A and B are shown apart, each in its own frame.
Chain A
């Protein structure tokens, strides 16, 4: 659109006229001048708007591509499971820690936190339970002054929160008859400033000012732990007036990747581990949805054509830790030994499920109501999906509700000598006293390769079920991950790798089905902090302003009164003193950030891109046409971005208009000089840096930052084998040796990762390495 290449058209004529030394101002001339100025200015604004929009596109597509990588990581974990025996001595522990952390019985004891002593020198708030308003004020003041709450109080707070949440149903029903206007907030993502701004504008939570927080409290922002402390504290203080929904980031695997885990370990070196474990439990205990006056449904992500609120209300949500999904294997590969066959025998078919009152779904304490998922998804070689169902016998034992602590009394896996694979299992469909028939899983599930949960329930001596304790029923994935779209229908959300894209018809149907009139959800960043779609039946509310970059977007919250008409309130936290009133500066700042992220993407796919370019450049001129360049970029990166428009920021043109394709890699380089590392290896490491970091974090159980050279070797070999990247064993060994800087057999993997951080050579501001790391993570 004329970026830099001007083609003056109608202005040519005017130029001559107005160039006269003596300007006689006739009305005609005045008008022509005015038109010129108006058009010129409007075009400038339009170009700015365009830049803003494609900057937005860049951020979004990179963000979602990152989330999609999650699948990559998941399949690697399953690969590790398959081959865990190779992780000498580390296997079962490693996997069990990942999938179903053995809950420390220590943590369940009432007084565990009270044994932590708080030194007199601690100047932060000392909370007393039950919390009072003055505790809250002290807490808020402390956080405003950048103080940290002592681990002892954090643990106590978390323990109390967990106790409270256990009593809550999956779906919370609110009524405006006894509550005034309700305020609904969207994603916060660790932005304490935004939360404080909302409290400032709207009032602190209280009986007069009730709140619903719609998930994604953590990750990306730097104050995630403070945000959850504040939210949980208010939850304890006003359990009837503060409500929290679970978001897709309330998930320990996501936290490993997107910064929350790291933040906690940095701020709480001694007790971070325990804090994280408790938080993990709490996350899985968060309610899934809130309904106001039976008319307004609030969930974090969205819905699908399979969403059934009654079913959702009856799931045992606390067993659902993470949205990790494993690929399926055939039933035959499974060899789980005795226990499994025993389970088979105990299953029986036929028999209907006795009904129960709907109210029981709200009371999780009732042992009789435990709905078991029954899902068998077998994928045959031709990919067809069969799902068999059988109901349980009517004489099953009634157990007390399982808390996470007794989920895995033994190690998760069958004896190490028996290799096993993750599997789609014939799950015994145990007794359920719920009358709600579970929905038939849709065909498209196949693509998501979900494994139905094997819930062992009463069968305490069955090993096979206990190692898959992570599985999420599909319904919950949909609630946490789906996005609305304009087209009709419901299709898998390939962008994110989970949940659905749901159309207006899906919304309509669900609302009608349950007598609702509005769906409020979050999950997607919106320019103005909120957005309506589906003819006003769906509202997206997002409360983290400047999410991508300073000035990128506003945050917003909704207020709902008795008449149930939403009112929107917007805000934007401004952190720097730099004047951002000029739109151009704002756009430029965001744009700069977006292009850096984009260039890193380019760099980490360098060899693929070069291969693509060279295919078009037979004579090795170093140039290709603009179309070819754009084509290669899109086919390798798949980000669906306007490459031609972005071209000036990425590469140089030759005088004849073709693209010097190597110039897009020019100002990027590795963090430190890589000793004896082939370019191929370097690039792979760049690309999977985040994944590798997560894996290291898991291996490094005591969070010391060090892993043994042997562990590193094993992991790296596995990872590259899984990726299909052909890495010479010797190259790995050389690499391991070279990064063992002090030659003591252990690798400081923070240093290692630092080496594979992409550095922008022309970045004069970027002198502090640590600052960059934080920025990359959050």
Chain B
């Protein structure tokens, strides 16, 4: 999974032709992603589509304001072009396993390989792009900590990275 060169990021709302940012094949892929998100197939992603998508990702009670904020970033109704401008960059890439492991290791300086469940919760729900309580619960349901309350983060990372790889075979 050799990473391709990082594309130059244009400022949002800049006047450059968004379609020139990507290769044709990528645009086609994004178009498919757009269609998948646009559940009622009307060519626009509206707040219902966004809310449905959030809900499907475990964030059930996304506040109306948050959705409105996202929609406000767009100059108008989100058709595919706008979608590409807003989300194009964010759609690319799967992080290499090692990167994520190292991120977890920041919290595990003694390199024990596990983290305490409540510590993980605190770390992920109180800072940066905070996880909601539901998201946290979803993660622990899928990757349950052991009886002592320890989360084997190496296993988690391994399963997600390699599980997906296996599915692509």
Q: Smallest Cβ distance from B158 to chain A, in angstroms?
A: 13
Residue A648 at the chain B interface, CB threshold 8 Å: yes
The interface residues of chain B lying within 8 Å CB-to-CB of A3 are 168
| A2, A25, A49: the one within 8 Å of B109 (CB) | A25
B1 interface hit (Cβ, 8 Å): yes
Contact call A23/B105, Cβ cutoff below 8 A: yes
Q: Whose C-beta in chain A lies nearest to the C-beta of B139?
A: A41
Kindly identify which residue among A2, A4, A34, A627 contacts B91, using a CB–CB cutoff of 8 Å.
A2
| CB nearest to B104 among chain A residues | A37
Q: B168 to A584, Cβ gap below 8 A?
A: no
Please provide the chain A residues from 30 to 52 with a CB less than 8 Å away from any CB of chain B in the complex: 30-47, 49-52
Contact with B along A1-41 (1 / 0, CB 8 A): 11111111111101100110001010001111111111111
**Interface 9-mer from B10-18, B64-72, B76-84, B159-167:** B159-167
Is B99 in contact with A15, judged by CB distance below 8 angstroms? yes
B160 contacts A44, CB within 8 Å?
A: yes
Instruction: List A contacts of B56 (CB < 8 A).
Output: 49, 52-53
Residues of the A chain whose Cβ atoms lie less than 8 Å from the Cβ of B99: 8, 11, 14-15, 18, 36
Nearest opposing residue in chain B for A56, CB measure: B36
Q: Tell me, rounded to whole Å, the shortest Cβ–Cβ distance linking A554 to chain B.
A: 13
Q: In the bound complex, what is the Cα–Cα distance between A582 and B159 (angstroms)?
A: 11
* Contact status A7-B167, CB under 8 Å: no
CB distance from A591 to the nearest CB of B (A): 7
Inter-chain contact B4/A7, CB cutoff 8 Å = yes
Contact status of A38 and B128, CB under 8 A, knowing A642-B36, A645-B32: yes
The answer to the question of A356 belonging to the interface, with a C-beta cut-off of 8 Å to chain B, is no
Residues of A within 8 A of B75 (CB): none
B95's partner among A11, A19, A33 (CB-CB below 8 A) is A11
Chain B residues within an 8 Å CB radius of A40: 95, 100, 103
Instruction: Report chain B residues within 8 Å CB of A627.
Output: 24-25, 28
- A277–B89 Cα distance when bound, in Å, is 62
> Which residue of chain B lies nearest to A649 when distances are taken between CB atoms in the complex?
B168
Which of B6, B32, B163 is close to A642, meaning CB atoms less than 8 Å apart? B32
Give the CA-CA distance A131 to B123 in the complex, in Å: 63
Query: Which of B123-140 touch A at CB < 8 Å?
Result: 123-124, 127-131, 135, 138-139
Interface residues of B in 99-150 (CB under 8 A from A): 99-100, 102-107, 109, 123-124, 127-131, 135, 138-139, 141-142
Q: B20-39, CB under 8 A of A: which get 1 and which 0? A: 00001100111011011000
Give per-residue flags for A477-511: 1 if the beta carbon is below 8 A from chain B beta carbons, else 0: 00000000111000000000000000000000000
Query: What is the 8 Å Cβ interface bit string for chain A, positions 85-115, against chain B (1 contact, 0 not)?
Result: 0000000000000000000000000000000
> Which A residues form the contact surface with B (CB < 8 A)?
1-12, 14-15, 18-19, 23, 25, 29-47, 49-54, 57, 485-487, 581-584, 588, 591, 626-627, 630, 642-645, 648-649, 657
Residues on the B chain within 8 Å of A49, using CB: 53, 56-57
Q: Which 5 pairs between the two chains have the least Cβ-Cβ distance?
A: A642-B32, A33-B106, A8-B3, A18-B102, A33-B103
Q: How far is the CB of A427 from chain B (nearest CB, A)?
A: 40
A45 touches B102 (CB 8 A): no
- A2 touching B92, Cβ below 8 Å: yes
**Which residues of B are found within 8 Å of A57, using beta-carbon distances?**
36
Contacts A/B (CB < 8 Å), 16 sampled: A2-B91, A8-B93, A23-B109, A30-B123, A33-B104, A34-B128, A36-B99, A36-B103, A45-B57, A50-B33, A53-B56, A486-B42, A584-B163, A584-B164, A642-B35, A645-B33
By beta carbon, the residue of chain A nearest B6 is A9
B142 neighbours in A (Cβ, 8 Å): 581-584
Give the distance to chain A from B85, nearest Cβ to Cβ, in Å: 16
A5 and B95 form a contact (CB under 8 A): no
In the complex the two chains form, is A38's CB within 8 Å of B124's CB? yes
- Please classify how large the interface on chain B is, using the bins under 10, 10 to 19, 20 to 34, 35 or more: 35 or more
B40 beta carbon closer than 8 Å to chain A: yes
Chain B contact residues, CB within 8 Å of chain A = 1, 3-4, 6-7, 9, 24-25, 28-30, 32-33, 35-36, 40, 42, 53, 56-58, 89, 91-96, 98-100, 102-107, 109, 123-124, 127-131, 135, 138-139, 141-142, 159-160, 163-165, 167-168
Does the CB pair A12–B3 fall under 8 Å? yes
Q: A657 and B123: CB pair below 8 A? A: no
Q: Which of A40, A52, A588 has the most CB of B within 10 A?
A: A40
Q: Does A53 contact B92, Cβ atoms closer than 8 Å?
A: no
Per the bound structure, the CA–CA distance linking A33 and B127 in Å amounts to: 10
Among B1, B30, B94, contact of A43 (Cβ-Cβ < 8 Å): B94
In the assembled complex, the CB of B28 is this many whole angstroms from the nearest CB of chain A, namely 5
Asked if A15 contacts B102 (CB within 8 A), the reply is yes
Q: List chain A residues, Cβ under 8 A from B36.
A: 50, 53-54, 57, 642, 645
A39:B29 contact, CB within 8 angstroms: no
- Nearest B residue to A14 by beta-carbon distance? B99
Cα A25 to Cα B110 with chains together (Å): 12
The closest CB in chain B to the CB of A10 belongs to B6
Q: What is the bound-complex CA distance between A46 and B36, given in angstroms?
A: 11
Separation of A257 and B10 alpha carbons in the complex (Å): 56
Q: Which of A6, A18, A588 contacts B3 (CB 8 A)?
A: A6
Cβ-neighbour of B29 out of A10, A485, A644 (below 8 A): A644
> Given the complex of chains A and B, what is the CA–CA distance between A52 and B24 in angstroms?
25
Contacts of A50 in B (CB 8 A): 33, 36
Would A6 and B100 be within 8 Å (CB), given that A1-B33, A44-B164 are in contact?
no
A47 to B91, CA, bound (A): 10
Cα distance A52–B55 when bound, in Å?
Answer: 14
B29 to chain A, nearest CB (A): 5
Of the candidates B96, B128, B135, B138, the one whose C-beta lies within 8 Å of that of A6 is B96
- The interface residues of chain B lying within 8 Å CB-to-CB of A12 are 3, 6
> Beyond A30-B123, A44-B164, is A9–B93 a contact (Cβ under 8 Å)?
yes
Closest Cβ–Cβ distance, residue A658 to chain B (whole Å): 10
Are B93's CB and A6's CB within 8 A? Answer: yes
Q: Which residues of A contact B28 (CB under 8 A)?
A: 626-627, 630, 644
Known A44-B164, A583-B142, A630-B28: A35·B128 in contact at CB below 8 Å: yes
- How many whole Å from B63's CB to the nearest CB in chain A? 17
Cα–Cα, bound, A257→B52 (Å): 35
A35 to B104, CA, bound (A): 11
B113 CB, min distance to chain A CBs, angstroms: 15
Contact partners of B107 in chain A: CB under 8 A: 25, 30, 33
Measured in the bound complex, the distance between the Cα atoms of B135 and A1 in whole Å is 22
A582 CB contacts on chain B under 8 angstroms: 142
Q: Which residue of A lies closest to B3 (CB)?
A: A8
Q: Which residues of A contact B91 (CB under 8 A)?
A: 1-2
- Residue contact B106 to A29, C-beta cutoff 8 Å: yes
Choose from A31, A39, A588 the contact partner of B127 (Cβ within 8 Å): A31
Known pairs A6-B3, A9-B93, A53-B56; list 18 more (Cβ under 8 Å).
Answer: A3-B168, A8-B99, A9-B6, A9-B89, A12-B3, A19-B102, A23-B105, A23-B109, A30-B106, A35-B129, A36-B103, A37-B100, A43-B95, A45-B58, A486-B42, A581-B141, A642-B36, A648-B168
In the bound complex, residues from chain B placing their C-beta under 8 Å from that of A644 are 25, 28-29, 32
Contact between chains at A6 and B105 (CB < 8 Å): no
A residues near B89, Cβ cutoff 8 Å = 9
B138 to chain A, nearest CB (A): 8
A20 to chain B, nearest CB (A): 9
| Min CB–CB distance B42 → chain A (angstroms) | 6
Interface centre among A19, A45, A486, A649 (most CB of B within 10 A): A45
CA distance in complex: A581, B139 (Å):
11
- Decide if B106 touches A38 in the complex (CB within 8 Å): no
* A43 nearest CB neighbor, chain B only: B94
CA–CA, A53 and B41, complex, Å: 13
Q: Nearest-CB distance from A716 to chain B (Å)?
A: 40
The reply to whether B167 and A591 contact each other, CB–CB distance below 8 Å, is yes
A53 to B34, CA, bound (A): 12
